[in-house]
Structure 1
Amino acid sequence: MENLRSGRHLCFDRLVIDLAGPAASHSARYVSELTGIGSGLQVDTTGGANLEILVQAPATEDFKPGAEVKTLGYTTFRQLVWLGSFEGQTKVGLSTRAQLPMRVFALPGPGDGSRLVIDVAHHW
């Protein structure tokens, strides 16, 4: 995993995870609490729901889980939380205003890389 980007669109907020190679195996699900990968330590957030994203790809940098919290203040996204990278897996969390519909998909490129895209709707 090389980079995280977020943005607002008319009907949804989007998180894009840039990967160094082809799209890796991944999962995204709502959880009751966000926890650091490896440590299992809970990371507090301000949103009404928590979306956990796990990617089978190592990160190019590693931070202490919970140390990197970015407040977004978008329509749906509240916070982006770094949950760590351990044994070839990387986990990030999204604090959202509520448990809203979401979709996850992969796109090829640029170059030899790929992108994992997570969209969360503004409304039900």
Structure 2
Amino acid sequence: MGRSGTRPRTLVVVVLAAVALLAGALPAQAAGDPYCGIRWGSLPESRPAGAFPPGTVSDVRTGQHPCFDRLVVDLAAADATGYDVRYVDQVGAQGSGTPVPVAGGAVLQLLVRAPAYDESRGATYLPEDPARVVDVTGARTLRQVAWAGSFEGQTSMAVGTRARLPVRVFVLDGAPGRPDGARVVVDVAHHW
């Protein structure tokens, strides 16, 4: 068996060494690596309202980023803002509970603990089209944002998304033209 028995083993060792060298030259991306480095999940996110008056809703806007779509709720005179964002089967309108339909494969309920009206019940924000609060044309994840109302110091929206995807929520100080305001930011990833 001498020489002929060692040849196949030598060939196997050489092939394995070549594969190992090639693997080291390729960028490392395991199957489990997150999309765009995003490590968010799809579980509910909430923050309680603060002790100070929450301010009032003054605008709603969207934006697109390379890895996620963004929804922003601007607040005037907000010291401490609470929110609750979660995937649900359907969003009910504030006060009545009537289902608010939205396009998409999944529905996010966005509840901001701030009213869209002032102390005299005058609207501080009222969308021109409650079924389409903002234009999401060109968005990769957002399909529709519908108004669910503002009642008892809270404002709610139904956010239709392409699918149940990772989401993150946070608050930033200041809002456009309102340094005393705040922004509730909701990012929804394009992929897992």
For residues 41 and 25 of structure 1, what CA distance do their matches in structure 2 show? 24
Alignment-derived partner of residue 7 in structure 1: 63
* TM-score for both structures, normalised by structure 1: 0.91
Gaps of 5+ in 1: none
RMSD: 1.4
How many positions carry a matched residue from both structures? 121
Match of 1:31 in 2: 88
Q: Which one of the candidate residues 58, 72, 77 is aligned to 2:136?
A: 72
Distance 2:82 2:104 in 1: 27
Structure whose CA Rg is larger: 2
Which residue of 153, 166, 169 corresponds with 1:104?
A: 169
- Which position in structure 2 is the counterpart of 1:41? 98
Aligned residue type for 2:95: G
Q: Is the 8 A contact 1:50 1:95 kept in 2?
A: yes
TM-score in terms of structure 2 length? 0.60
Return the alpha-carbon distance in structure 2 between the equivalents of residues 24 and 62 of structure 1: 19
- Give secondary structure in 1 for the equivalent of 2:180: coil
Choose between structure 1 and 2: higher strand proportion.
1
Question: Percent of pairs identical after alignment?
Answer: 50
- Equivalent residue for 2:113? 56
Q: Which runs of 4+ in 1 moved over 2 A?
A: none
CA contact (8 A) 1:5 1:15 kept: yes
